[in-house]
A and B are shown apart, each in its own frame.
Chain A
């Protein structure tokens, strides 16, 4: 049999791309692997040199400590309330602001749009004191609302920008058709634009949620009472002046990582675009 003539594939050879990708994935996943592994090791195994790659007797003891002998469950609940609250609030406000920026022309729009980002430019250290003063005046220190509002301020600017560009990419004819069909502006937004913006909404949601979930400095300053402390603070609490319970830190880290992982996996389908396929030609 003659071998059919084939075109040479351009670029790097396949085995190089494959081994490169595998290496990259391994490097990225190693910390997670180490985290999960360490969370099931006994204290003695944790400090063994050279490190043990597979614990002789995996233990759930660290998880028991975290779940029953620490404040972590309470902090977990706090984190959920604060992250969900601020994400929801940011999403609602961002939807309306972005729709305005994307669909209407008004005086000072470019100025306002760039002004939205100014907040994002200020370093954390610069705004932390003014925010604290403001929260104290409003009696919001050590409350859920305090952190929810602060986190909303942090995530809103980028959310508005992300959604604005997403809305702009939805063909305006669709809304015109809806208007002709008798829809009001709000009906256009809720029945046409939003359903088609699910991938955009999902990205904004994940961005806002992850940002607030992982935030440390603001939580440290504005939530000093254990009734509102969040998970990152809880992790830090395992380190005391004299020692650090690394097993518990790792177990708590796993607990803290799970919601994010679940969120990403459940939203994965939405990140794949193509929702407007078939709407208009081309």
Chain B
């Protein structure tokens, strides 16, 4: 096990720079998820960590070893690919033991270690099968087993679950989490799925356009997003945003709707801001704002309602059953303490509680 230090790392393909100086500290044994939309550079960063891509600038260290110039096999990492990348001409046992065979480990030791990992992953009955004879979830497990057999310092996962169906994904998610619990190996996990990030990570790194937008624990990111991008990316349905101004210590929407803030934000008078509120922080309130219902989507446990409020379409999630029809009016209020304000121009969060 080892810590991983990524220090001001850059990646360019010719003139095009895709990573603009990324710094992340990963503690020993931590489960870190790199999350972001496609093209944000998260997979590139992981491949640089693995040694499959050159590092154009900056430094990557595993433990106290700078690995910039090292070959993948000298880095003591193991990687699970999105496509599994199982060797089709080898049995499960050979697939899992391949790295040990390359390292010229004794045959008995290889067999023991493969057997142990296979037992851990419920693969013992499949050791003689070929990858084509396995289901998607089993292939995924073999890919993980191949990584685990080596007992590496760091596990790298590149969107390992995106090829599985929804149900299996949830199951594998918890299996990966359990394995991490058991092995306590430092793990870097790349995904574009924020639910995976939220449920699995000790620490989430949100990336966007080749930079790190925010690093923090899942709930920290959810409750205190650093900017509008993180606010919109983490959480499903996404945080609602309403553009407007601060006037008279409160928020005024573009259409003149006044929304009360928990503090009198007098310092920010006339500043353009964006108000953010999570869907579950809207309350049914007869004295609240009148909002037009656009759609009602009951999911059973809760109801999602798309509303038009202050000229914006916003989503509310309510535990109550809403029996209204589209076109009717629903009265809602926003929990003042849960309101976030973001700068209208930069999109950075304004910590108005402290400022006030």
Which residues does A use to contact B, with CB under 8 Å? Answer: 171, 173-174, 176-183, 187, 192, 195-196, 275-282
Distance to closest chain B CB from A222 (angstroms): 41
Establish whether residues B86 and A279, one from each chain, have CB atoms under 8 Å apart when the complex forms: yes
Find chain A residues with CB under 8 A from B102 CB: 181-183, 187
| Interface size counted on chain B using CB atoms at 8 A | 30
Stretch of B4-12, B72-80, B225-233, B263-271 lying at the A interface: B72-80
Find chain A residues with CB under 8 A from B99 CB: 181-182
Residue of A nearest to B133 (CB): A278
Q: A195-B89, A278-B131 are in contact. Are A178 and B98 (CB under 8 A)?
A: yes
A182 to B74 CA separation, bound complex (whole angstroms): 8
22 inter-chain pairs at a CB distance below 8 angstroms, sorted by A residue, are A171-B83, A173-B83, A174-B85, A174-B88, A176-B79, A177-B79, A177-B81, A178-B87, A179-B51, A179-B73, A180-B78, A181-B98, A181-B99, A181-B102, A182-B73, A183-B102, A195-B89, A278-B86, A279-B86, A279-B87, A281-B163, A282-B83
Establish whether residues A279 and B52, one from each chain, have CB atoms under 8 Å apart when the complex forms: no
A181 to B99 CA separation, bound complex (whole angstroms): 5
Contacting residue for A174 out of B73, B79, B87, B163, CB 8 A: B87
Find chain A residues with CB under 8 A from B131 CB: 278-279
B16 contacts partner chain A, Cβ-Cβ < 8 Å: no
Establish whether residues B139 and A278, one from each chain, have CB atoms under 8 Å apart when the complex forms: yes
Please name 18 further chain A to chain B contacts, defined as beta carbons within 8 Å, in addition to the given A181-B73, A282-B83, sorted by A numbering.
Answer: A174-B85, A177-B81, A177-B86, A178-B87, A179-B73, A180-B51, A180-B79, A181-B98, A181-B150, A182-B72, A183-B102, A187-B102, A277-B88, A278-B88, A278-B134, A278-B139, A279-B86, A280-B85
A174 to B86 CA separation, bound complex (whole angstroms): 7
Within 8 A of A (CB), among B103-128: 103
Q: A179-B73, A180-B72, A180-B78 are in contact. Are A171 and B130 (CB under 8 A)?
A: no
Find chain A residues with CB under 8 A from B52 CB: 176, 179-180
Residue of A nearest to B136 (CB): A281
Distance to closest chain A CB from B296 (angstroms): 37
A178 to B83 CA separation, bound complex (whole angstroms): 14
Find chain B residues with CB under 8 A from A178 CB: 87, 98
Residue of B nearest to A198 (CB): B89
Find chain B residues with CB under 8 A from A275 CB: 88-89
A177 to B81 CA separation, bound complex (whole angstroms): 8
B177 contacts partner chain A, Cβ-Cβ < 8 Å: no
A192 to B78 CA separation, bound complex (whole angstroms): 18
Distance to closest chain B CB from A191 (angstroms): 8
A276 to B86 CA separation, bound complex (whole angstroms): 10
